[in-house]
Chains A and B, each alone.
Chain A
Amino acid sequence: AIQMTQSPPSLSASVGDRVTITCRASQGIRNDLNWYQQKPGKAPKLLIYSTSTLQSGVPSRFSGSGSGTDFTLTIAGLQPEDFATYYCLQDHIYPLTFGGGTKVDIK
């Protein structure tokens, strides 16, 4: 199975900060990479699919980039509602695999 290594596991940031989360795949996955946001007690929410395409309704401060094995989620100007845990998911090949998650909390 493809391993997804996500970093950092956690970070502290302030409102307005620019935040970057990375995901590395153990083998090439083209651009078949999604990003999810999860808040406590809630199901995950799709933010970005195919590396860089914003899901409908997701604010434009979220962006994704990368290809092959290295991918990045950027939040430009962190908002109070963005404090959550973020996961990457490769959907290039089954079994699908998630990264370990990045918890973004308030500094």
Chain B
Amino acid sequence: EVQLVESGGGLVQPGGSLRLSCAVSGLTVSSSYMNWVRQPPGKGLEWVSVIYSGDTTFYSDSVKGRFTCSRDISKNTVYLQMNSLRADDTALYYCARRNSYGSGSYGIDVWGPGTTVTVSS
């Protein structure tokens, strides 16, 4: 069974930093497209970032330059380093696998339960 479990969320002051972790079981992060998606309280979903083969990464415009996605293959874990945090980064952060093949995709099909980040003074 594939499982994604996020951790590392919490309360942080504006301008601060936080690192989220996503522990993965049932699939290997080295061969997967691992994404972060967030959802502010009471609002819609926002795609944040992806990391895949060769440590290739992409980010949404709203987090580019502030957030960094990485992975530890030995721990089968993906990370999201969040710096210069702002109030509008407050959200539930999901780790999710995009089931990709070549140039195609079967969709983002596996999601963790999420971890909550609150940015407030």
Q: Is the CB of A44 within 8 A of B58?
A: no
| A99→B112 CA distance, assembly (Å) | 21
The number of residues on chain B lying at the interface, defined by a beta carbon within 8 Å of a beta carbon of chain A, is 24
| A48→B109 CA distance, assembly (Å) | 10
Q: Which chain A positions have C-beta within 8 A of B94? A: 43-44
Q: Which chain B positions have C-beta within 8 A of A49? A: 105-107, 109
Shortest Cβ distance from residue B4 to the other chain A in the assembled complex, whole angstroms: 9
Q: A82 contacts the other chain (Cβ, under 8 Å)?
A: no
Q: Is the CB of A89 within 8 A of B108?
A: yes
Give the one of A94, A95, A100 with max B CB within 10 A: A95
Q: Which chain B positions have C-beta within 8 A of A53? A: 106
Point out the residue from B61, B96, B107 that lies within 8 Å of A1, measured CB to CB: B61
| A32→B105 CA distance, assembly (Å) | 8
Q: Which chain A positions have C-beta within 8 A of B96? A: 43
Q: Which residue of A lies closest to B35 (CB)?
A: A96
Q: Which residue of A lies closest to B112 (CB)?
A: A43
Interface string of A29-58 (1 = CB under 8 A from B): 000101010100001111011100101000
Contact A95-B47, Cβ < 8 Å, known A1-B61, A32-B105, A50-B105? yes
Further contacts, 15 of them, CB under 8 A, given A45-B111, A49-B107, A101-B44: A43-B111, A44-B37, A44-B111, A49-B105, A50-B107, A89-B47, A91-B98, A91-B107, A95-B47, A95-B59, A95-B61, A96-B47, A97-B47, A98-B46, A98-B47
17 contacts between A and B (CB under 8 A): A34-B105, A43-B94, A43-B111, A44-B111, A49-B106, A49-B107, A50-B104, A50-B105, A89-B47, A91-B105, A95-B47, A95-B58, A95-B60, A95-B61, A98-B44, A98-B46, A100-B44
B→A interface (CB under 8 Å) = 35, 37, 44-47, 50, 58-61, 94, 96, 98, 104-109, 111-114
A→B interface (CB under 8 Å) = 1, 32, 34, 36, 38, 43-46, 48-50, 53, 55, 87, 89, 91, 94-101
